[in-house]
Structure 1
Amino acid sequence: MELRQLRTFMTTVKLLSFTKAANTLGYAQSSVTNQIQSLEEELGTMLFERLGKQIKLTKDGEHLYNYADQILKLADEAKDHIGNSLVPRGSLTIGTPESLCSYRLPRIFQEFRSRYPEVELNIRFDTSIVYRDHLRKNTVDLVFSLGVPSLETDLVTHVLFEEQMAVIAAPAHPLAKKSTVIPADLNGQALILTEPGCSYRQLFDSILTQAGVKPASAMGVSSNEVIKRFVCDGWGIGFLPQITVQQELLAGQLVALPWAGPAFNIKAQMHYHKAKWLSPALKAFIDVTLAMIPF
């Protein structure tokens, strides 16, 4: 099994086309086909289902994809490490919540790109629980998260700053007229929240559960913009970082309810695996981020 074959396999998976993979890699299509067939013969299994001109990964192909991704990342790290390059280059994959990426991180990305133009940044959105799993599998290099301070001993965690949270409603909502709002006030209310895997959604759910609150309904939405739209339209109560709703609050489209319940204590954090080799690019990104706090 050669690295060249694994790179061809990964490219084919991403493009789902032998022809497109050949064009991208600068090979003849027959070369791509031969490399895939050689892998299949060596592994004794089919990696792709061929359905006419369409191809689809088999279960064994999916397993190989996960291994190949890690193998190629480690090979690139070894090349950089042994080459001992002092100039950051290559690529970094950063995991981040949408709210941090949209409102907090653009200055970091812009500054880093201006200093290190040879480094390609790849940004991925998902929940913090999923990202921690990615760190352990080495499929992302570094993760930003919002939540209570992490206690996971296999990760290096930098607490960056406290993120103010807001319990939000439409101006016409009955709770908008109250001088204070406590968890019990959300009994029987419709909630429009982030996905269940979101760390600050879990904290909010925990606060309500401990108070014995039973909402009428809870809708999980993966987009902050959609949550804001639904809350503006009177669908229910939302819970988001205050910075994400600042514009709507100033415009009078939303109100931040005067929360008098338990403090949220949500921290913006940066994580990477303790065993991760800090390539020049990754070390430079960490340094730039820490130098620009608060941001």
Structure 2
Amino acid sequence: MNLRYLETFLTLCEERSFTNTATRLGCAQSNVTAQIKQLENELSVRLFERMGKTVTITADGARLIPYAKKMLSLSDEMYTLSQTASRLTIGITESIATYLFGDILKEYTAHYPDTEIFLRLLTDEDYCEMLQNGEIDAAIVLDTAIRHKQIKVMGKRKENILLFASSTHDLSGKTHITAEDFTKYATLLPPLFCSYRKLFEQKLHAEGIRPKIALETASAAVIKESSLCGIGIGLLPEFAVKKELIYHLFEKINYKTDFPVYTQILIHQDKWHSKYLEQFLEIAMRHLG
């Protein structure tokens, strides 16, 4: 049913004149007549009696009024909702969510306070598949360079991956660190699926070394707290320990970890960009360089 016909019907109920209804709606009188006739045909009822210039609503027409008003009201509500609120589901790496996402969210909500943001923390899930299936609208990940024919990289920034320890650790301040040191001193590592953990272990394995692991966890905060307690050497992106390095709670461990790991903003190449998603991507790309 065409909602415009219902609007014409309600206007005619008020004006009781085809001429006045046409003037009010800004259309030709023949359009008003045709729309009312089409509505009557669809409903198989007579809505108005036309006797000369007098227009009288029928009993069937009177019964239709509250339903027509309700349908138009729901239509208005639906349109208003689509214009004022939205929901974005963002897949995100835990460390980025904890240490980088706050500034993005702060600016975004200042522009779109009614938009609901749902963060889905990515573990060992295939976020490329999640983008393809529409489970998430976009992804912000810390990984090696993504090359996927259906995934578009909207922004990419290389991250420094650091080994660090408390300022009182035996290796803090030591200028020469060898792979063998990691058999003597415990390490605190992210899970096996983590790209930079894989690269770190590959580098050690190439030298015939298997690191001593005291803790494995997906929580960057737990790795940091455990390192502060002196349990071992942590491995995290620099942005996660930036404040602690400034205040010398942590010291960098002098072992080269120049891994090709990037913060990347991803969407499916065919993803429709609503204004909410477009603005989110623009803000995220600006904050992540």
Q: Same fold (TM over 0.5)?
A: yes
> Match of 2:91, SS?
strand
Pick one of 270, 273, 278 that aligns with 2:273.
278
Cα RMSD after superposing both structures: 2.5
> Match of 1:271, SS?
strand
The answer to whether 1:197 aligns with 2:193 is yes
Equivalent residue number for residue 226 of structure 1: 222
Q: CA deviation at 1:179?
A: 0.4
Q: CA deviation at 1:237?
A: 1.4
Equivalent residue number for residue 25 of structure 1: none
Residue pair 1:162, 1:265 contacting (<8 A) in 2 also: yes
Pick one of 150, 157, 161 that aligns with 2:157.
161
Residue pair 2:188, 2:235 contacting (<8 A) in 1 also: yes
Instruction: Give the paired residue count.
Output: 210
Q: TM-score, normalised by structure 2?
A: 0.65
Structure 2: where are the runs of 5+ without partners? 1-78
Q: CA deviation at 1:276?
A: 2.3
Residue pair 2:162, 2:257 contacting (<8 A) in 1 also: no
Moved more, 180-189 or 136-145: 180-189
The structure-2 alpha-carbon separation of the partners of 1:262 and 1:288, relative to structure 1 and needing over 3 Å to count, comes to closer
Pick one of 274, 283, 288 that aligns with 2:283.
288
Q: CA deviation at 1:148?
A: 1.9
Equivalent residue number for residue 249 of structure 1: 245
> Match of 1:152, SS?
coil
Structure 1: where are the runs of 5+ without partners? 1-82
The answer to whether 1:238 aligns with 2:234 is yes
Distance in 1, matches of 2:278 and 2:160, equals 28
The structure-2 alpha-carbon separation of the partners of 1:168 and 1:152, relative to structure 1 and needing over 3 Å to count, comes to same
The answer to whether 1:127 aligns with 2:133 is no
Q: CA deviation at 1:150?
A: 1.0
The percent of aligned pairs where both chains have the same amino acid is 27
> Match of 1:94, SS?
strand
* Alignment of structure 1 residues 173-184 onto 2, 5 Å: 173-184=169-180
> Which amino acid counterpart does residue 156 of structure 1 have in structure 2?
K
> Which amino acid counterpart does residue 130 of structure 2 have in structure 1?
H
The answer to whether 1:148 aligns with 2:144 is yes
* Alignment of structure 1 residues 1-295 onto 2, 5 Å: 87=83, 89-127=85-123, 129-217=125-213, 219-259=215-255, 261-294=256-289
Distance in 1, matches of 2:234 and 2:258, equals 16
Distance in 2, matches of 1:151 and 1:189, equals 36
Distance in 2, matches of 1:247 and 1:293, equals 18
Residue pair 2:196, 2:261 contacting (<8 A) in 1 also: yes
Distance in 1, matches of 2:84 and 2:288, equals 21
Distance in 2, matches of 1:224 and 1:231, equals 11
> Match of 1:95, SS?
strand
Q: CA deviation at 1:121?
A: 0.8
**Runs ≥4 residues deviating over 4 A:** 85-88
Q: CA deviation at 1:87?
A: 4.7
Q: TM-score, normalised by structure 1?
A: 0.63
The structure-2 alpha-carbon separation of the partners of 1:290 and 1:250, relative to structure 1 and needing over 3 Å to count, comes to closer
